[in-house]
Amino acid sequence: MSGYRIHRPGERINRQKPVSFQFDNVQYKAFSGDTLASALLANGVRLIGRSFKYGRPRGIVGFGAEEPNALIQLETGAHTVPDLKATQVELYQGLLAGSTTGYPSLDFDLKGLLGKFGRFMPPGFYYKTFMEPVKAWPVYEKYIRKAAGYGHAPVLPDPESYDHLHHHIDVLVVGGGAAGLWAATLAGRAGLKTLLVDEQAEMGGWLLTERRSRIDGLSGMDWVSQRLAELASLPNVSVLPRTTAFALHDLNLVQAVELLQDHLPLTERNAALPRQRLHKIRAHQVILASGAIERPLVFGYNDVPGVMTAAAGHSYLNRYGVAVGREVLVQTQNDAAYEAALDLAQCGVKVMLADARQGGAAAWRQQALKSAGVELLLGHGIAKVLGDKSVSGAQLVKLDGRNNQVVGSGPRLSVDTVLSSGGLTSTVHLFCHNGGRPVWNQQQLSFVCPDEGRDNIACVGAITGRWELSEALGQTHAAVAALLLGHGRGSSGNAPSVASEEVAAPRAIFRLPDGKPEGHGAKAFVDYQNDVAAADIHTAIRENYRSIEHVKRYTALGFGTDQGKLSNINGFAIAAEALGKPIAEVGTTTYRPSYTPVTFGALAGPHVGETFDVRRYTAMHASHDARKAEYEVVGQWLRPWYFPKPGEDLHAAVNRECLATRNSVGVMDASTLGKIDVKGPDAREFLNRIYSNAWSKLDPGKCRYGLMLDENGMVMDDGVTACLADDHFHMTTTTGGAARVYSWLERWHQTEWPELKVRFTTTTDHWATVAVVGPDSRQVLQKLCTDIDFDKDAFKFMDGRSGTVAGLPARVFRISFSGELAYEINVDANYGRYMWEEVMKAGAAFNITPYGTETMHVLRAEKGFIIVGQDTDGSMSPNDLAMSWAVGMKKPFSFLGKRSLLRSHTAGDGRKQLVGLLPLDPKVVLAEGAQILSNTDDTVPAAMQGHVTSSYHSAFLGRSIAMAVLKDGSKREGDTVFVWAHGKSVPAQVVSSVFVDKEGVRQHA
Amino acid sequence: MPKQGFQPFMESPLHHFKLDAEAQARRADGRIWCNELPHLGYAVLRGDTAEAGFAQLVQQVTGLALPLQAGAVSQGPQGVLMWTSPDEWLLVSHRQRLADWTAQLDGGFAAQQLFAQTVDSSGGLTLAWLGGTEHITVLRHLGVYDFESIPLGHMVSTVLGKATVQVIRLDGDGVFVLFRRSFADYVWRLLRRAAQPYGFAVCQLEARGDHPLFAQLAAPRPSLILA
């Protein structure tokens, strides 16, 4: 038989509120306040899953975050959540859950058959077995992957939301047990801004289970209520239940996830509230009161469903009113498990207790157990558990008093449940996340946090190895009082009063011997989730893994969703024994975040969907929408890509836009280009240094194209800068480079040339820019503006004017990225859409055609104009781009990159240089990024000659064109090269990269 | 011949949300109340406080004392002047007044040969007012700065989500969030999303006669401040 309900005073379930739920398609009943685990146990369900490697039947072992086995799939469809621990799932009406393992069914599992041969599946089994033949690995992998793993990730979008919340506080207390509550009380009373978090739905920690202790004359839970009432009355204190602090980073940044709605039925969740909230807490002082977790002992077949920790059996009884069995064997090596035995016995459960210690617990405990009718077996250990899918009994052996050896046979007991306690393990994870190391405490048999904590991190209660409540509260009081005194917060009064009790020392035993050499007896599991047995650790050591980190990786000890909370110390101890070293010397593996699994949703928080990333819009966006633009994202900006008319695809639209622009007039939103106001008496000198070309003689009203080089002489950005006044310039940058260039200017000014009187202000967002492009553009501008003379000789190519356009003050620059007669109108962006629409109206007579970035790319490629980042890659100098005309080597002061341009490598032969390519078949558009080969019969590995950087169909030329970087390209005009892509070579001729209007007649028109 | 009778219209960075249409009179109902203060005038002011005459000229023209403490904000019935870096301030006022001020300032800087300047940024920035009991909590959902610690009369430059903003606390009645035009859609959506747990509402803009920012909202004429 297995679990059943039993009334317990102080139980945490609400019997007035029954709930029904489903597990593996079977309907069950339970109560509000249950966890899924307690509800399943109450309904007699023991088999929850199959083990990872051997497919062995597994049941619930723990009652919280430490649970290794009961990984379940919660809900279905978009709401499904994989691999939750049933011990942490709060039950709600209508909850749907299922097991995550077992094929074809949980009851009959194919992997279970394989597990019968477990002896032949040592650590590294898969590495060792599936080495040959190499080609077969994909086949092996398919089946190994199918056999591995637990739940399945949702495939539908998550319908729930998540958010983040930042805290700046004085004190963060992690853990709402007795120590944490007292620490928060003291900090709160001292007036400090305090936050207390605990992963459980209710504060109280172990006091939720343990009912005998009295604190300040009150029962444990009454004292908890008193504390919570006091904390609630303090405006400087916040208390967050269901909140797991899962990571501690440098400078006391703690991340904690709060489960705001997971405990509610799906239909009752408030859509306005997040399901979970990620708290990012920056605390001057962190107080870790995260307690301890009971670990089991390691013995033969200790994984049969019905074997669990004593703390779990105790908690299910007292918190949820569930007796986990009718005939229970408690196996221990310490005093604490006697409490579980006593409470169970007092509830009418038949209890036997085997203690590995010859002398057993403190006399008063032994007497209490005997009085309750518990049979005590001192100096005994379990050799193996009997049963397959459920415990049916246990075979005991007599243990030697000093050495962990078997000295005789013991009784064979008929029981339906085995509870074991191997002592407590301090929950040191957070202390260790950013480099802290725990210390081994041989008296308490645990790695614990040092009493002194670390700078601004205090450790209180069981985390320091104080298992007894009186000691834990005493140490907490002393530590927090000292801390407050250090902060000038005065006296903290007295510690809570708790009677101390006599306790017998635990026995240093982790693996209960069965009298056989390791590996020859029943499998004794250390890590349930990864199917790591004691023998596997011995095998790893025999195969010469000496570091515990290597043992972990070879055996998988301590991996998985439970992160070894039950298994680590047992594993370290068994490794220590095999290595013949003390445990302290073996040490621990590295504790890393997260303490427990955190959903991606919580980590992403609000940064999903429409707020996933910044989308930058220009002032004319609504106009583009109205004209059905298709968009592309450029440096976070949403730019019109092309404007399809009904029935047009990208190519048809771009061909039309290109021809309209070359033959009459096109219009483009150029607002996204970076714009920087450069002003000051030394502005020119600054530009001389930051650009490769000369700026000393640029008159007001003139514009100049400039190349910006990095220290290596490579092109990092380009753009046109206009001289507005002798000391005032309007600089433009590439769309994606704006922020980088602005920082670049500030960096050089602030760090190297602070003596130059010049200042920079970003004006990218201030100006909305409409580019009017094409032979008819002048006429369009003339319809909009009377106070600028647009005559070709009065307003020349690369001139800039201020004037009134469509009634607004505007800066107009006659610059061109297309090789056409073109003007860019800049106005205050609040008028951007107005200006766009006025241009459209004025251009209507010329069939003005809006175009997007794709047409812009074709038009500029026809002219051989580069796009930094597309035709350059950080290794292109101006010379490589045939742009030495934009380098002023004779400038009196050096400029950034000048020295590098003279380096032998930069100036030498063999560099890739920008060229044009004309495919011999004019219909073939080369693939961008395709590699260039010298010969058609080159075979792998071939010498790469370069690659195609830009490639388009030019409607204006009626053929394909491309730009490429080619080794020594400047000397190879007329050569035929071979462009390799998609498995074949395409011949192309090397030509000048200027395909249209080499003389520049059009842009000077 | 050019077409005459142009009728320029302005659209603020949050124009497309049509906030006016959903604006309600603000009330204390626990919700987050928010709206854009459209079409204000903004200018970046640069100067050297060590240069004699700079601070005096700024105060003389704007009536606002040049704030010298990091993050400090000078405020008056005609606008605000915010410290943004040791040689940089942001001036916010009614558009037309700002145009007048910048013209006077630049003229004064030139006359006194000061290394100082103004740069019009009116098209590139906007302000949102965010109020309601939990308005600071909304900011805490989005940014790492300790927003509760911002003293009245101060501002901070920080990041909400992935956008740079300035958060300005004037009188304790809500905060003003300043951001760039191109980021406005993102910032608004982010604020709206973060406010969801408390309820989010668009409030009517109050024409408070002597408020340093609300008083600057009167419908401006097309700006004439561009050189």
Same domain, A604 and A723: no
CA–CA separation, A116 vs A640, rounded Å? 64
Contact call for residues A402 and A388 (beta carbons, < 8 A) = no
A828 assigned to some structural domain: yes
Per the CB < 8 Å rule, is B117 touching A811? no
Per the CB < 8 Å rule, is A766 touching B144? no
* CATH at A271: 3.50.50.60
CA–CA separation, A663 vs A682, rounded Å? 43
Q: Where are the alpha helices (DSSP H) in B157-217?
A: 184-195
Chain A residues in contact with B7 (beta carbon < 8 A) = 807
CA–CA separation, A420 vs A429, rounded Å? 23
- Please give the distance of CA B36 from its chain centroid, rounded to a whole number: 10
Q: How close, in Å, is residue B208 to chain A by CA atoms?
A: 24
- Identify the DSSP state of A123: T
Same domain, A231 and A278: yes
Using 50, 70 and 90 to split pLDDT, how confident is the model at B4? Answer: low
Per the CB < 8 Å rule, is A617 touching B8? no
Of residues A758 and B1, the one with the higher pLDDT is A758
Is the pLDDT at A855 greater than 60? The verdict is yes
The predicted pLDDT at position A135 comes to: 84
Same domain, A357 and A406: yes
> For B120-127, what is the mean pLDDT?
97
Q: Which tokens is A529 given?
A: 């989730």
Per the CB < 8 Å rule, is B194 touching A274? no
pLDDT in tens, A468-505: 999 999 999 999 999 999 888 877 789 999 999 999 99
Is the pLDDT at A927 greater than 80? The verdict is yes
Same domain, A211 and A247: yes
- Identify the DSSP state of A110: H
Using 50, 70 and 90 to split pLDDT, how confident is the model at A101? Answer: confident
pLDDT in tens, A528-549: 999 999 999 999 999 999 999 9
Give the domain extent around A989.
909-1005
Q: Give Cβ neighbours of residue A451 (< 8 Å, ≥ 6 apart).
A: A459, A464, A475, A479
Same domain, A597 and A627: no
Q: What percent of chain A has pLDDT over 70?
A: 99
Chain A residues in contact with B124 (beta carbon < 8 A) = 762-767, 829
The predicted pLDDT at position A149 comes to: 74
Same domain, A788 and A657: yes
A573 assigned to some structural domain: yes
DSSP string across A860-874:
HHHTT---TTTT--S
Per the CB < 8 Å rule, is A163 touching B194? yes
Is the pLDDT at B15 greater than 70? The verdict is yes
> For B152-159, what is the mean pLDDT?
98
Instruction: Output the CA–CA distances (angstroms, integers) from residue A317 to A301, A599, B195, B224, in the order listed.
Output: 24, 31, 43, 80
* CATH at A666: 3.30.1360.120
- Name the average pLDDT for chain A: 95
A514 assigned to some structural domain: no
Q: What percent of chain A has pLDDT over 90?
A: 90
Chain B residues in contact with A681 (beta carbon < 8 A) = 115
* CATH at A598: 1.10.10
Is the pLDDT at A124 greater than 80? The verdict is no
Cβ atoms < 10 Å from Cβ of A103: 14
Q: How close, in Å, is residue B63 to chain A by CA atoms?
A: 24
Per the CB < 8 Å rule, is A830 touching B39? yes
Q: Give Cβ neighbours of residue B197 (< 8 Å, ≥ 6 apart).
A: A163, A272, A273, A274
- CA dihedral (A540, A542, A546, A551) in degrees, to 10, reads 10
Per the CB < 8 Å rule, is B226 touching A828? yes
The residue among B225, B195, B219 whose CA lies nearest residue B207 is B219
Contact call for residues B11 and A834 (beta carbons, < 8 A) = yes
Chain A residues in contact with B109 (beta carbon < 8 A) = none
Number of domains in chain A: 7
HEC string for B38-78: CCCEEEEEECCCCCCCHHHHHHHHHCCCCCCCCCEEEEECC
> For A121-145, what is the mean pLDDT?
79
End-to-end alpha-carbon separation of chain A, Å?
Answer: 97
A73 assigned to some structural domain: yes
Same domain, A579 and A600: yes
Is the pLDDT at A892 greater than 80? The verdict is yes
What is this structure's pTM?
Answer: 0.94
Using 50, 70 and 90 to split pLDDT, how confident is the model at A937? Answer: confident
Amino acid, res. A574 = I
The predicted pLDDT at position A2 comes to: 64
Chain A residues in contact with B217 (beta carbon < 8 A) = none
Best of B44, B158, B159, B186 to disrupt the A interface by mutation (most A CBs within 10 Å)?
B186
Query: Strand runs (DSSP E) across A495-614, as ranges?
Result: 525-527, 532-533
Same domain, A411 and A262: no
Per the CB < 8 Å rule, is B226 touching A809? yes
HEC string for B81-120: EEEEECCEEEEEECHHHHHHHHHHHHHHHHHCCCCCEEEE
Using 50, 70 and 90 to split pLDDT, how confident is the model at B224? Answer: very low
A494 assigned to some structural domain: no
Is the pLDDT at A983 greater than 70? The verdict is yes
Sign of CA dihedral A543, A547, A548, A549: negative
A903 assigned to some structural domain: no
Q: Which tokens is A105 given?
A: 């069914």
Q: Output phi, psi for A35, to 5 deg.
A: -95, 165
Best of A270, A802, A828, A839 to disrupt the B interface by mutation (most B CBs within 10 Å)?
A828
The predicted pLDDT at position A143 comes to: 77
The predicted pLDDT at position B227 comes to: 31
Same domain, A646 and A777: yes
Maximal CA-CA distance, chain B:
60
Domains and CATH numbers, chain B: 15-39+123-216 (3.30.1360.120), 40-120 (3.30.70.1520)
Same domain, A253 and A362: no
Per the CB < 8 Å rule, is A782 touching B2? yes
Residue B147: Cβ-neighbour burial (10 angstroms; 0-12, 13-18, 19+)? buried
Using 50, 70 and 90 to split pLDDT, how confident is the model at A738? Answer: very high
pLDDT in tens, A74-99: 999 999 999 999 999 999 999 999 99
Cis peptide before A644 (omega within 30 of 0): no
Q: How close, in Å, is residue A82 to chain B by CA atoms?
A: 26
- Residue given tokens 């009150």 in the structure block: A218
Q: Which helix (H) or strand (E) holds A112?
A: helix A110-115
Using 50, 70 and 90 to split pLDDT, how confident is the model at A119? Answer: low
Q: Which helix (H) or strand (E) holds B138?
A: helix B135-142
> For A40-57, what is the mean pLDDT?
93
pLDDT in tens, A650-690: 999 999 999 999 999 999 999 999 999 999 999 999 999 99
Of the residues A486, A509, A533, the one at which a domain ends: A486
Of the residues A94, A117, A147, the one at which a domain ends: A147
Per the CB < 8 Å rule, is B141 touching A280? no
A864 assigned to some structural domain: no
Instruction: Output the CA–CA distances (angstroms, integers) from residue A968 to A278, A312, A374, A867, in the order listed.
Output: 56, 75, 92, 20
- Number of cross-chain residue pairs from A and B with Cβ atoms under 8 Å apart: 162
Among B8, B121, B163, select the one facing A763 at the smallest CB separation: B121
Same domain, A57 and A184: no
**Residue A831's closest chain B neighbor by CA?**
B10
- CA dihedral (A775, A779, A780, A786) in degrees, to 10, reads 140
* CATH at A740: 3.30.70.1400
Q: In the beta sheet, which residues pair with residue A616?
A: A637
Of the residues A859, A880, A897, the one at which a domain ends: A859
Chain A residues in contact with B165 (beta carbon < 8 A) = none
**Residue A768's closest chain B neighbor by CA?**
B123
Q: In the beta sheet, which residues pair with residue A99?
A: A72
Q: In the beta sheet, which residues pair with residue A164?
A: A278
Per the CB < 8 Å rule, is B123 touching A274? no
Q: How close, in Å, is residue A657 to chain B by CA atoms?
A: 26
Cis peptide before A941 (omega within 30 of 0): yes
Chain A residues in contact with B137 (beta carbon < 8 A) = 165
Same domain, A833 and A945: no
The residue among B173, B194, B160, B158 whose CA lies nearest residue B71 is B158
Using 50, 70 and 90 to split pLDDT, how confident is the model at B222? Answer: very low
Q: Which tokens is B118 given?
A: 């103004």
A478 assigned to some structural domain: yes
The predicted pLDDT at position B218 comes to: 65
Chain A residues in contact with B184 (beta carbon < 8 A) = 617
Sign of CA dihedral A216, A218, A219, A220: negative
* CATH at A109: 3.10.20.440
Amino acid, res. A122 = P
Q: Which tokens is A321 given?
A: 């009113």
